Structure 1
Amino acid sequence: MLELRPTVVGAAGLVDDPLTASDATRAVEAVLARFLDAELRRTREVDPLFARDVAGRVSAFVRRGGKRLRTAFLWCGWRAAGGSDDPTAVLRTGAAIELLQACALLHDDLMDGSPLRRGAPAMHVDLACLHRTSRMSGSPESFAVAATVLAGDLALAWADDLLMETALGSPHGTRLYREWRAMRGEMAAGQYRDIHAQAVGTSGVDEALTIATLKSALYTVERPLALGASLTVADECVLDALRSAGRCAGLAFQLRDDLLGAFGDPSVTGKPAGDDLRTRKLTYLLAVAVELADTSGDKEDALALAPGPAYRSDDAVERMRAALERTGARAEVESKIKELVATSLWHFETTGADAAMRREFAAMLERASGVAPDHAGEGR
């Protein structure tokens, strides 16, 4: 049994003073550290060069952290579904999710050509620098692409190893693995829909929502909540309520991310401002703006938002940003986020989770969406 602190897990394996999601996130950090240390030792035995150049960088990237939202929602799903005994399996599942997230981010930055992640050079940028400083032959960019693909693959392999070990040791392992398998497939499908929409210049609202659902809503909140619940004896009604709450919360998170991508402060987000606009990535924000510009007949804004060069100039990005404001798309997306947050909280309350858990979920919703729910279910 994983000992977290004396007042949390008693000798019989029962939680005497239930952890909060923040406590669980810190505990997952410890699980990750032990797992990564062990994997690095094994990797050095396989090949010291690969361990130094690739595995070491993946390990450092994972340890550098992030929001850890998926871990927090995983814990919330477990507690809302009645989880209260030994938390080892749910914490190990949280660590596996963080490794899967590392894979997704490494590959996503590579596909998008993003130079920064978490305030530091993205993996492909760092590996291109390694090529140059080591005076290797060939193209630094080609080397970096290949090595970053392998880095993401390694993170995915580590995630699957940890999840499978956890599933094999849990009485709920079959249900846990079903959720995990679905999440991996949805994540890949969402990523492909994203790059396909960008390649063909799609602007449709329905397509943007499909991408946001597959790539983010399911993967960020719905599946983590369901993964946590799958480690309990919760019935399908509770699982369905958590999935509905998670889908709405996940969409709210993605729409907030869209707004930050267009208007956010790089010193806060850790990513360059306007990257999505520069490449005209299809987001719900962009799709709404295009629809509003077409409906109003505003040719200037429609032209600024229309498909064009693969990479847009700073002036073109500023024109797009102004169009997002003038069309009313930014305000409409803010309104949609508030609606999704309220609906998510309503679904969560139908799980029968206690008032403390509902308050915690409401706080997590605010953290993910930037919107404070109107109420957190006190006294219900």
Structure 2
Amino acid sequence: MTSARPVDQFAAPAGLDDVPDSVGGVLSDFFDRVIPHAAAIDPVVGEAATMLREFTMNGGKRIRPTLLYAGWRCGVSEVGRSPAPGDGDNPAEALRAGAAIELIQACALIHDDIIDRSDTRRGRPTIHRAVETAHTDAAWSGDPSAFGMAGAILIGDLALSWADDLFHGVGVAEELPAGALRRGAARRAGAVWAAMRTEVLGGQILDIVNESRGNESVSAAYRVMEFKTAAYTVARPLELGATLAGGSPALINALRSVGHDLGIAFQLCDDLLGVFGDPEQTGKPSGDDLVAGKRTALIAVGLNRAGAATGGELRGLIGRELSTDELVRARSILVDVGAVADMEQRIDRLDERAQATIAALNVDGSVRSELSALGHRLGHRQR
């Protein structure tokens, strides 16, 4: 493995806005270490690992590691905190855990793009399309499309495997403080980590089953959101950071509540972006959720509010390629039946409840203020 900076030499971010760059540095260091090992197996394995690196390092807002670091800062600054010996006062541990979540996210996105048959991600070809193109360019035998999907599945699996390695310190353990991986806070954080992995995969299973069943209920859409997004994107990262810092059960419970509300608001906003989003901002085609046939809360509310004729028309505009006129019509139905207004009202209520919980947190005022601002941004992204 190549030499790189010890994990504890990554400077603590000055504020939450600096976390994405700091996590990017941890990821870059990790890839420097593990890609040569992959390439030693065979150059094509190294090329696949490099493709994963480029995908992971290309854009992304690093929301999950930022929330994890916010949770860690809450834990460290908790009023009356009495940390056990070795509890997580080292910001490098929080940055490393945040970088590991980014690898889980890479896996989830790569596999999601296969499931959704997406061609682009963040303005570039999705991994399965890029692997398909490499097959075609090399004039290899077999079906390029099948090869692309198989290669992308394996690259996603590699990301998930490396996420565990990074979280548990494999490949960096020689540079961690003695006993860091055995202390109580790390063991408790490991349990949160394991639960988070199961929840995000469980949410993905629910998602594809709901689509295949054609389940149009709002409750089914919320069940997917609870596990695929709310827990994984917001609640578990906040909990994980606070747990690493040795935060109290009361603080962890409050952050879990904040995370649930903000996570649902985040997904409702994402549902709006999936239908009304600007491709220049989202990096995905306009109306992508409609084409993919996703049974989001927005679609479920729209179908439940529409009458028989309009509901049937909207149903006919879900799960297939749409012309510009058809996309405009689908959007107008969702607006006219009040589904969009319903989503926006729900987002506002969830944000207000989360903000009230944040205001009551028994932590440093500056930390509370940063978390409040970050939380508000999660549910109010521009369409």
Shared fold, TM over 0.5: yes
Offset of residue 234 of structure 1: 1.4
| Displacement after TM superposition at 1:22 (Å) | 1.9
Local SS of the residue matching 1:2: helix
Report the Cα offset of residue 232 of structure 1.
Answer: 1.7
AA aligned opposite 1:198:
E
Does residue 56 in structure 1 map to residue 85 in structure 2? no
1:226 matched residue in structure 2: 239
Q: The residue matched to 2:76 in structure 1 has which SS? A: coil
* Alignment pair present for 1:304 and 2:313: yes
Q: Does 2:290 align with 1:277?
A: yes
| Equivalent residue number for residue 212 of structure 2 | 199
Amino acid aligned to 1:343: R
Give 1:46 shift: 1.8
**How many Å separate the matches in 1 of 2:357 and 2:281?**
31
The one-letter code matched in structure 2 to 1:3 is Q
Q: Which runs of 4+ in 1 moved over 4 A?
A: 307-310
Alignment counterpart, residue 26 of structure 1, candidates 21, 25, 31: 21
Q: Which runs of 5+ in 2 are unaligned?
A: 1-6, 78-87, 174-179
CA deviation string 1:143-191 (max 9, x = no partner): 0110000000000010011112277265422111100100000001100
Aligned residues: 356
Tell me whether 1:128 sits opposite 2:132 in the alignment.
yes
CA distance in 2, matches of 1:366, 1:270: 22
Find the counterpart in structure 2 of residue 14 from structure 1. none
1:309 and 1:150 map into 2 onto residues whose CA distance is 30
Identity %: 39
Deviation string, structure 1 residues 67-99 (Cα, Å, up to 9, x no partner): 100011001101112258321111100110011
Write the deviation string for residues 1-56 of structure 1: whole angstroms up to 9, x where unpaired. 62345xx5xxxxxxxxx73112222211111100011111111112221111x111
- TM-score normalised according to structure 2 size: 0.89
Which residue of structure 2 lines up, in the alignment, with residue 164 of structure 1?
168
Counterparts of 1:1-380 in structure 2, within 5 Å, are: 2-5=8-11, 19-52=14-47, 54-82=48-76, 85-165=89-169, 168=181, 170-293=183-306, 298-306=307-315, 310-314=319-323, 315-370=325-380
Q: Distance in 2 between matches of 1:177 and 1:86?
A: 17
- CA drift of 1:262 comes to 0.4
Cα distance in 2, alignment partners of residues 30 and 169 from structure 1? 25
Aligned partners of 2:292, 2:282: CA distance in 1, in Å? 18
Structure 1 unaligned blocks of 5 or more: 9-17, 373-380
Q: Is the Cα contact below 8 Å between 1:337 and 1:371 reproduced in 2?
A: no
* TM-superposition CA deviations, 1:233-257 (whole Å, max 9, x none): 2121111100000010011110001
Q: CA deviation at 1:347?
A: 1.9
Matched with 1:15 is none
User: Deviations for 1:170-220, whole angstroms, at most 9, x for unmatched residues?
Assistant: 542211110010000000110011111111111000001001111101100
> For the Cα contact (< 8 Å) 1:103–1:153, is it kept in 2?
yes
**C-alpha separation in 2, matches of 1:310 and 1:321:** 14
CA contact (8 A) 1:89 1:170 kept: no
